[in-house]
Amino acid sequence: MFQVLKNSEVYNNKPLVYGFFEEQSSVFVNKEINQEIIDLFNQDLIEKKLGSVNKIYTLNKMDNSIVYLVSLGKLSTYNLRQLEKALVKVNYKLGSELNINIASFLGKLSEKDVVKTLVNAIGNYNYVFDELLTKKFNNDLTINLIIDEQLDLDASINEGFNLAVAMSNVKDLVNRPYNHLSAADLAEYATNLVDSFDNNKVSIKVYDKKEIEAFGMHSYLAVNKGSTAEPKLIHVKYNGGKGEYIGLVGKGVMFDTGGYSLKTNMLNMKDDMAGSATVLGVLEAVVKNNLPINLQVIICATDNRINGEALLPDDVITAMNKMTIEIKSTDAEGRLTLADGVCFAQKEGCKEVIDVATLTGAVVVALGEDITGLFGNENSLIKNLLDASEQANEEFWHMPINDGIREQVRDSKVADLTNSTGRLMGASSGAAFIEAFIEEGTKWLHLDIAGTAFSTSPKVGQFYGATAASVKTLYLYLKNKNA
pLDDT of residue 390: 96
Q: Under 8 Å CB-to-CB from 4, ≥6 apart: which residues?
A: 119, 142, 143, 145, 157, 161
Same domain, 266 and 375: yes
CATH of the domain at 217: 3.40.630.10
In a domain, 158, yes or no: no
Provide mean pLDDT across the span 292-307: 98
Distance CA 55, CA 69 (A): 7
- The answer to whether residues 118 and 222 belong to one domain is no
Phi/psi at 312 (nearest 5 deg)?
-120, 150
Per-residue pLDDT, 461 = 83
Residue 478 class from Cβ within 10 Å (0-12 exposed, 13-18 middle, 19+ buried)? buried
Nearest to 298 by CA among 329, 315, 320, 330: 320
CATH number, residue 75: 3.40.220.10
Per-residue pLDDT of 412-447, as tens digits, reads 999 999 999 988 899 999 999 999 999 999 999 999
Spatial strand order in the sheet of 417-418 = 316-318, 324-326, 417-418
Q: Are residues 175 and 115 in the same domain?
A: no
384 and 266 in a common domain: yes
What's the whole-number mean pLDDT along residues 339-364?
98
Q: How confident is the model at residue 1 (pLDDT cuts 50, 70, 90)?
A: low
Could you give the residue numbers annotated as active site? 263, 335
pLDDT reading at 11 higher than 80: no
Residue 103 lies in a domain: yes
pLDDT in tens, 223-275: 999 999 999 999 999 999 989 999 999 999 999 999 999 999 999 999 999 99
C-alpha R_g of the chain? 24
Q: Which domain holds residue 221?
A: 163-480
Residue 119 lies in a domain: yes
- Please tell me the total count of domains within the chain: 2
8 has a pLDDT exceeding 70: no
Together in a domain, 109 and 194: no
Q: For residue 198, give Cα distances in angstroms to 157, 194, 288, 478.
A: 21, 8, 10, 22
Do 129 and 169 belong to one domain? no
**Do residues 270 and 401 share a domain?**
yes
| Parallel/antiparallel/unpaired status of strands 245-256 and 350-357 | parallel
Q: Are residues 96 and 243 in the same domain?
A: no
Q: Are residue 211 and residue 132 in the same domain, yes or no?
A: no
Q: Does residue 180 share a domain with residue 132?
A: no
pLDDT above 90 as % of the chain: 93
Residue ending a domain, choose from 146, 180, 203: 146
Half-sphere exposure of 467 (CA within 13 A, CB side): 23
- What pLDDT score was predicted for residue 44? 95
Distance (Å, whole) CA 419 – CA 33: 67
Q: Write the pLDDT tens digit of every residue in 162-217.
A: 999 999 999 999 999 999 999 999 999 999 999 999 889 999 999 999 999 999 99
Q: Are residues 91 and 215 in the same domain?
A: no
| Domain presence at residue 218 | yes
Domain assignment present for 154: no
Q: Are residues 92 and 31 in the same domain?
A: yes
Whether the per-residue pLDDT at 475 is higher than 70: the answer is yes
